Amino acid sequence: MPYIEGFVAAVPTANKDKYVEQARQGADYFKSLGATRVVECWGDDVPKGEVTDFYKAAQVKDDETPIFSWIEYPDKATRDAANEKIMSDPRMKEMGATMPFDGKRMIYGGFSALVEESAGRKTGYVDGHLVPVPAGNKDAYRDMAAKAAAILKEYGATRVVDAWGDDVPDGKVTDFKGAVKATSDEKIVFSWIEWPSKQARDEGWKKVMADQRLRPNDMPFDGKRMIYGGFAPIVDA
C-alpha cells in the first residue's frame, strides 16, 4: 500500500488559478522524485463544525478556500528520500517564495496506509476526513474502515483510503494534532473517499446513511472531533 504525504491549506479564493498553475508544476516535480500520484482538491462542500472543521484547522479566512491534497509514494523510504532532496533543491525554494497562499498555515504530515480499496475508475469528487483515533484502537479502526470501504464501494465510491499518522510534526501555527484536538494518546488518520462525480457522491451518501450495517456507536474514536468535507479535484497527476 502507498505511503501518503497529506496536506491541508487555506488559499485566497481569488488566487485559485495561480494555485492550480503552481500545483501542476509541483505535481511534475514530486513525480520526478518518485511520487506515483499527486492530487490537489478545492473546497466545495465543506461544512463548519462546532468543535472542529477544515476552516478552524488551517485558520481559513472569509476570503479563502480550504484545500485538501495528498502525494502518494510507493513506500516511506521513497518519500523520505524525496523530502531530503526537496530541502536543498533551489527549485523548491523558488516555488516556496512564490506560493499564492500563506505557507505558515499549511498543515502536512506522513501517513502509512491502513486501508486502500480501489475500483479502478476515474475520480471526479473527493470526500476528505481527518480523524483522531486512540493509538490502542488501531486494529479496531482498521477493521471498521475496511468494512466501511466495502459498503462505500457498493454505493458508487471508486476508491477509499485510510492512512495512519506516522510522521506528523507539531507546527508553530497549525498542525494535524491541533486540527482535531488530539490528545497525547491519539493518532491522526488522514482519509479520503473518491467518487466519479459530486452527484454520485451525494446519491451514494444517502444510501450509506440508511445502511444499518454502519452504526455510529461502532466508531472506535470521538466522532465529534472528526473533520470532513467535499472537495473538487483541480490537479490529479
Q: CA–CA separation, 160 vs 119, rounded Å?
A: 9
- pTM passes above 0.75: yes
Render pLDDT for 64-103 as a digit per residue (tens, 0 to 9): 999 999 999 999 999 999 999 998 888 877 777 889 999 9
* Pairing, β 107-118 against β 227-236: unpaired
145: number of Cβ within 10 Å: 23
CATH number at residue 206: 3.30.70.100
pLDDT score, position 82: 97
216 is written with which cell numbers?
A: 455510529
> What b-and-e string marks burial along 214-230, b requiring 16 or more CB atoms within 10 Å of the CB?
eeeeebbbbeebbbbbb
pLDDT score, position 42: 98
pLDDT score, position 216: 66
Alpha helix stretches (DSSP H) within 70-192: 76-88, 90-97, 138-154, 176-179
Number of domains in the chain: 1
pLDDT score, position 119: 66
